[in-house]
Amino acid sequence: MHRLPPLLCTALAVLLGASTASTASAVPAERSAAELKAGVVRARAAALPPGGFGNGIFQVHLQQRQGFGIGGFTVLTGPDHPAGPGLNVLFGDGVPGTSFMTVRNLVRREDNVQSPYLTQPGEVSLDDRSPQVVRVGPTSSRVTWSVYTTEAAATVTQDIVVHGTTVADSSVEVTTGVDGETADTFQVQYLWDVANGRDDGPVVQQVPEGGGYRPFATPVTTEATFTGANSFAAADNDRDPAAPTTATGFTGAGPSRVTPTPTPPESVKYVCWPRAVGAPFGSYRTDPTVDVSTSASDCTRTGSGADSALLYLFPRMASGARVTASLFATPTTPYPTALSVAPVRVGGSPSLAATLTDTTAGRPVPGRTVTFAAGSRALCTAVTGADGVAACGGAAEGLAALLGYSATYAGGAIWAATSGRR
């Protein structure tokens, strides 16, 4: 059963239909992690201050409230992101809670968890370890905790830094270190609840050094364990109109363009969040039969639907060491496109048509809105089908276009704007 702090238990009890006088034991054991996830987000939303820190591409929202996982964070797109502002990069709509770290003392076998989700023996909440929000600035934050060792207290430090100013150089760095006079060794785990826009179960693909998200590559849709990977890209595949509309890169051992250099993890696991959130530290086993990202997904077998996450396990480290991972924008520039405009179908319907093509891959681009016009007069709009063709208009639009007409695609984060004329 999940052991939750009293403040959160009260909120969850209301949300889940229990008495406001309930304690942790009143949260029914059969409640799924997915239900707890929804309840936690709703309970926290009213208590969090608005706004975040970052740049025009990424905005980080940091949890600063005792009892809710101080230092937990989530990420949204910023005002200059090509997909538009306010879109989920990590789950939460700006409300932290489902992405967090765990720091294990390997000598004491004690797990210091940055979350109310305490499910295993030996877990303690970092909220009970003297948390201090040392700094929240325009582009960075620092949070510290004092944890027990076999000799004396040691300090855990989490630094989150938003680097860069453009799509090409922006990233969100998350660095964790332990400092103190101790011979104890430690290990860090990050659970990042990836999301892309409204899709809480994005697909992933491995990306080689120097590469980026590839919209026509076959993605991973089921649980998987990766070792030695350079980096990953996560992209929406459903729940957003015309997916994919946005993608995010996540470091493995690379890429080299990200600052600081990422710590090569022991493993990165693509997991079902509701299954992984309560698993023992470092021991979650991926199941390649579990669909975590398609419309057929039921990753807890209780109707929770697609809900994917990345689970990072870093190498053991001594006091004084650091581990770091980052997320970043991908592709750094949208893929170029072209519009081939068809002759007017006089007397036919639809009378106007154009084909949108990814010129790098030579493939039709589906699900994009194309606008047709004759001079300054807008005629109609249509969405490209699987063949990349957008078609609309009747006899009146065909007559208006007889002397020439144009088709325009406005572009987005994945594919660049283009236009064509006939």
Indicate whether 69 and 101 sit together in one domain: yes
Q: Which amino acid is at 365?
A: V
Contacts 24+ apart (CB under 8 A), 220-223: 220/270, 221/291, 221/292, 221/293, 221/294, 222/287, 222/288, 222/289, 222/290, 222/291, 222/292, 222/293, 223/269, 223/270, 223/271, 223/272, 223/286, 223/287, 223/288, 223/290, 223/292
Decide if 409 is inside a domain.
yes
Of the two residues 116 and 108, the one the predictor is more confident about is 108
**Phi and psi dihedrals of 124, rounded to 5?**
-135, 150
Q: Which of 313, 329, 345 is the last residue of a domain?
A: 329
Same structural domain for residues 181 and 130?
Answer: yes
Q: How much of the chain exceeds pLDDT 70, in percent?
A: 86
Query: Tens of pLDDT along 358-395?
Result: 999 999 999 999 999 999 999 999 999 999 999 999 99
Structure confidence at residue 30 (pLDDT):
32
Number of domains in the chain: 2
Q: Return the CATH number at 378.
A: 2.60.40
CA dist., res. 388 & res. 350, Å (int): 15
Residue 358 sits in which domain range?
337-421
* CATH code: domain of residue 160: 2.70.98
CB 222 within 8 A of CB 288: yes
Same domain, 320 and 355: no
Residue closest to 192 by CA, chosen among 81, 334, 82, 314? 314
Q: Give the pLDDT of residue 298.
A: 79
365 and 387 housed in the same domain:
yes
Per DSSP, the three-state class of 42 is helix
Q: H or E element: which one contains 335?
A: none
pLDDT at 299: 81
Q: How many CB atoms lie within 10 A of CB 287?
A: 14
Same domain, 160 and 233: yes
Asked if residue 7 has pLDDT above 60, the reply is: no
Phi, psi for residue 270 in degrees, rounded to 5:
-95, 115
**Domain final position from 294, 329, 364:** 329
11 domain-assigned: no
User: Can you tell me the distance from the alpha carbon of 378 to that of 29, in angstroms, rounded to the nearest whole number?
Assistant: 58
Alpha-carbon distance of 237 to 255, in angstroms, equals 24
Sheet with 140-147, side-by-side order of all strands: 132-136, 140-147, 154-163, 171-179, 322-329, 247-251, 231-235, 203-207
Comparing C-alpha atoms, which of 187, 172, 156 is closest to residue 314? 187
Convert the pLDDT of each residue in 115-155 to its tens digit. 878 889 999 999 999 999 999 999 999 999 999 999 989 99
Residue 2 confidence (pLDDT)? 41
Residue 293 resides in a domain: yes
Same domain flag for 76 and 203? yes
Answer yes or no: do 199 and 341 share one domain: no
Say whether both 236 and 357 belong to one domain: no
Quick one: pLDDT band at residue 6, thresholds 50, 70, 90?
Answer: very low
Question: Per DSSP, what are the bridge partners of residue 297?
Answer: none
Q: How far apart are CA 295 and CA 402, in angstroms?
A: 43
Average pLDDT over residues 306-314: 96
List Cβ neighbours of 267 (8 Å cut-off, separation of 6 or more): 225, 226, 227, 312, 313
Q: Is 283 found in the same domain as 357?
A: no
Is the confidence at residue 164, as pLDDT, over 80?
yes
Q: Is the peptide bond before 82 cis (omega within 30 degrees of 0)?
A: no
Instruction: Judge contact between 53 and 87, C-beta under 8 A.
Output: no
Position 62 scores a pLDDT of 94
- Assess if residue 7 is contained within a domain: no
Q: Is 8 within the bounds of a domain?
A: no
Looking at residue 238, its pLDDT comes to 82
Cis omega (within 30 of 0) for bond into 85: no
The overall average pLDDT reported for the chain is: 89
Task: Report phi then psi at 353, rounded to 5.
Answer: -155, 150
Domain identity same for 194 and 93: yes
pLDDT beyond 50 at 4? no
One domain for residues 277 and 129 = yes
- For residue 410, what are the contacts with CB-CB under 8 A and spacing of at least 6? 369, 371, 417
pLDDT at 27 over 70: no
pLDDT digits (tens, 9 = 90+) for 327-339: 999 999 999 999 9
In a domain, 13, yes or no: no
Whether residue 20 lies inside any domain: the answer is no
324 and 342, same domain (yes or no): no
Show the tokens assigned to 162.
Answer: 């938003």
Q: How far apart are CA 187 and CA 111, in angstroms?
A: 9
Give tens-digit pLDDT for 43-74. 555 555 556 899 999 999 999 988 889 999 99
Per-residue confidence band for 300, with pLDDT thresholds at 50, 70 and 90: low
Q: How many CB atoms lie within 10 A of CB 49?
A: 10
pLDDT of residue 323: 98
